[in-house]
Amino acid sequence: MNQKQNIDFFPLFSFRSPEISLEGKPKEEIIEGMSLILRCRADANPKANIIWRKSGHSGIYDIKDHIEFNPIRRTDTGVYSCSAKNEIGQSQEMEITVDVKFKPKINHVYPSPRTTVSLYQSTRLVCEAEGNPPPKYSWLQRIGGDSVVWQERTNNATFYINNVTYSYQGTYLCQASNTINTIYNTLKSEEIFLDVTG
């Protein structure tokens, strides 16, 4: 007589070290003030712990599966990396570059608001601005009488005048501009008056 055997079946678990994917970078440029979520997904068994790091930031930046910027600021620019680790092993790091774009901001123009230069001497007008992409500069001089026209004198941050003549006397301003997502952004400084004597 055959005796029946009781056979117990146990589920087979496949233990594995993490494999990760990184999601969230938008197709268009990242603009200051918008919201952004970066997500690090880990396929692992048992469940893996996520670790975020940021370039220039010592130690661990965060330990959850996502990091959220709401709103994102220019200081959030950097290279972010995530990795995952469980009892079986650790994944490779994956990186994503966050490059936050922002409109030009003019920090300083000098000499301001007025400067006096002797005839045939040299002087300079300086404009300091920030932006991402880095702004392009123009120094404009006001010409004409009733109808105001601004004439570009140079497209550099510093306007050097090596031999001052009376034609340089007048009102100037600095213009800083950049383009973000095909949108042209421009900002003008306060006016500077250049007085030529002699």
Q: Which amino acid is at 52?
A: W
Q: Which amino acid is at 156?
A: N
Cα 191 to Cα 107, 115, 125: the distances in Å are 14, 11, 11
Cα 90 to Cα 19, 81, 94, 95, 102: the distances in Å are 8, 14, 12, 15, 37
Kind and range of the H or E element at 150? strand 149-154
For residue 11, what pLDDT is reported? 56
User: How much of the chain, in percent, has pLDDT values that exceed 90?
Assistant: 84
**Rounded Cα–Cα distance for residues 34 and 102 (Å):** 11
Q: Which two tokens stand for residue 182?
A: 């095909």
Q: Which two tokens stand for residue 34?
A: 């918008």
**Rounded Cα–Cα distance for residues 63 and 82 (Å):** 9
For residue 148, what pLDDT is reported? 83
For residue 5, what pLDDT is reported? 63
For residue 39, what pLDDT is reported? 97
Residues whose CB falls within 8 Å of the CB of residue 63, separated by 6 or more in sequence, listed in order: 49, 50, 51, 52
Question: Which conformational region is residue 120 in: left (phi greater than 0), alpha (psi within -120 to 50 degrees), or beta?
Answer: left
For residue 1, what pLDDT is reported? 53
Q: Which two tokens stand for residue 171?
A: 């009102």
Low-confidence ranges of the chain (pLDDT < 70): 1-13
